[in-house]
Amino acid sequence: MSFLDISHLEKAFGTNRVVKDFSLSVEKGEFISLLGPSGCGKTTVLRMVAGFEQPNSGAITIGGSNVVGKRPNQRNIGMVFQAYALFPNLTVAENVGFGLKIKGASKAEITARVQEMLALIGLPDKGASYPFQLSGGQQQRVALARALAPKPQVLLLDEPLSALDAKVRVSLRNEIRAIQRELGITTIFVTHDQEEALSISDRIVVMNGGIADQVGTPFEIYNRPSTRFVANFVGQLNVFRADEAGRIGGVSMGQGDFAARPEAVHLGRASGADIVLPATVTEVHFLGSVIRLTADVAGTRVSLDTFNRADAPPPEVGAVVELSLAARDLIQLGA
């Protein structure tokens, strides 16, 4: 049995079934992301693990013991909220030491642990500051330190980066991941940002309407999406209807629709590409190392990425080009 085990979890608010038969096994030290659109039940799953909501049925075990029915303050779980939720009346050091104080740790113990945590989050001399004196990113790091200080069994983060601006978001997510690796703490991270989930997770759970659609590594989720929803939600996708695929590419691959990632479509005839499509360039976005083109293929909009090369300028808008892709790069979507 894995360290954190969620099985057949059900939750309804009134008649609104929010989480449906949700199961997940998390190994010790694993970093799992719950990814899905707004309202799909990510927070609700997390809150049931934390003990703030009671499931209608199902089991949650941590380290082999069932926690359903236990109060949140008996679960030894660290939680980080989107809104930081630092105690405004306490200094940073008092915030970080709060959990230890409640556990009855000695003053010396608390001081030492608080210093250790503040060093870990890179704010060693902010101990005496009040939360309102810190930036959003700093506050969230303090919240992380506060959650980690009492050495919880599991760390839960509910969209901890959503309130921050883009630059801080990227640097802080890497920092969170580094700290999580260093401490080896089992972590569930909720986000609706697919790039965030792809970049820092060991495994991702893609949720849709209260159901875990697919569970897998970022590589699996991105390259072998098992449902149309996952394929569409994670990453960019060019979708061809089955009949279209046959008509424009001269391929016939059975039932259902096909999809191709932008990076699977090549400009010109690439070696190994067995499908060639005539196309007209409609948009050119120069992003630096990558150039993203949009082209019209017999009425279907196709996006593709090519690497920038100093000796080959990108095509102009309106240029007639050939696109190619390999049939094995096509993702078959359920009908």
Ligand X SMILES: Nc1ncnc2c1ncn2[C@@H]1O[C@H](COP(=O)(O)OP(=O)(O)OP(=O)(O)O)[C@@H](O)[C@H]1O
- For residues 251 and 257, the answer to whether their CB atoms sit within 8 Å is no
Host H or E run for residue 50: helix 42-50
d(CA 217, CA 213): 13
Nearer to ligand X, 4 or 18 (CB): 18
d(CA 118, CA 115): 5
179 closest CA partner among 96, 139, 119, 121: 121
- Does 44 bind Mg ion (CB under 5 A)? Our answer is no
Nearer to ligand X, 192 or 228 (CB): 192
- Does 43 bind Mg ion (CB under 5 A)? Our answer is yes
Nearer to ligand X, 41 or 137 (CB): 41
197 closest CA partner among 72, 37, 314: 37
Residue of the chain from 113, 146, 169, 192 that contacts ligand X (CB under 6 A): 192
d(CA 66, CA 55): 13
- Does 44 bind ligand X (CB under 6 A)? Our answer is yes
Nearer to ligand X, 56 or 294 (CB): 56
- Does 42 bind ligand X (CB under 6 A)? Our answer is yes
CB of 162 to ligand X, least distance (A): 9
Binding-site ranges for other proteins (CB under 8 A): 50-52, 71-79, 81, 83, 85-89, 98-99, 102-103, 130-132, 143, 146-147, 150
> Helix, strand, or coil here: 177?
helix
**How many residues make contact with ligand X (CB under 6 A)?**
11
The listed partner (other proteins, ligand X, Mg ion, none) that binds 290, CB under 5 to 8 Å by sort, is none
- Does 141 bind ligand X (CB under 6 A)? Our answer is no
Residue spans of alpha helices (H) in 123-274? 136-148, 166-183, 194-200, 218-223, 228-233, 242-249
Residue of the chain from 1, 15, 38, 288 that contacts ligand X (CB under 6 A): 38
- Does 52 bind ligand X (CB under 6 A)? Our answer is no
183 closest CA partner among 123, 248, 116: 116
Q: Classify 63 in phi/psi space as left (phi over 0), alpha (psi -120 to 50) or beta.
A: left
Residue of the chain from 43, 95, 138, 194 that contacts ligand X (CB under 6 A): 43
d(CA 58, CA 295): 49
CB of 73 to other proteins, least distance (A): 5
What token pair was written down for 64?
């082999």
DSSP letters spanning 103-121: HT--HHHHHHHHHHHHHHT
Nearer to other proteins, 71 or 309 (CB): 71
CB of 43 to Mg ion, least distance (A): 3
Q: Which stretch binds ligand X (CB under 6 A): 38-46, 85-93, 241-249, 260-268?
A: 38-46
CB of 159 to ligand X, least distance (A): 6
Nearer to Mg ion, 43 or 180 (CB): 43
- Does 18 bind ligand X (CB under 6 A)? Our answer is yes
CB of 23 to ligand X, least distance (A): 17
35 closest CA partner among 237, 209, 197: 197
d(CA 89, CA 94): 9
Phi, psi of 198 (to 5 degrees): -65, -35
Residues that bind Mg ion (CB under 5 A): 43
Residues that bind ligand X (CB under 6 A): 13, 18, 36, 38-44, 192
